[in-house]
């Protein structure tokens, strides 16, 4: 199961160890930034999660999931 799928099932902290590798491999996509950003917010770490969401928004300004995650901050 992909790490991001664990976060979708409610285990947000399980995604986080895979985030740096995913970001490095897929820097042009919003999802590698969105997933750790969302997961960090869900675990209460707004300070570290917000930069990931801002980067995801810059990567794809039309991404609805990123906008929803940012609206929750």
Q: Residue 39 — φ and ψ, nearest 5°?
A: -65, -40
Cα–Cα distance between 59 and 56 in angstroms, integer?
5
**Of residues 44 and 13, which shows the higher confidence score?**
44
CATH number of the domain to which 56 belongs: 1.25.40
- State pTM to two decimals: 0.81
Model pLDDT for residues 1-38, shown as the tens digit of each residue: 455 555 566 666 777 777 788 888 888 889 889 988 98
The residue segments making up the domain with residue 15 are 3-71
Domain count, the chain: 1
């Amino acid at each position: 199961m992909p790490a991001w799928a664990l976060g979708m099932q409610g285990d947000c902290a399980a995604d986080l160890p895979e985030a740096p590798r995913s970001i490095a491999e897929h820097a042009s996509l919003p999802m590698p930034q969105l997933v750790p950003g969302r997961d960090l917010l869900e675990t209460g770490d707004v300070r570290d999660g917000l930069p990931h969401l801002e980067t995801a928004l810059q990567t794809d300004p039309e991404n609805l999931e990123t906008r929803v995650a940012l609206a929750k901050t």
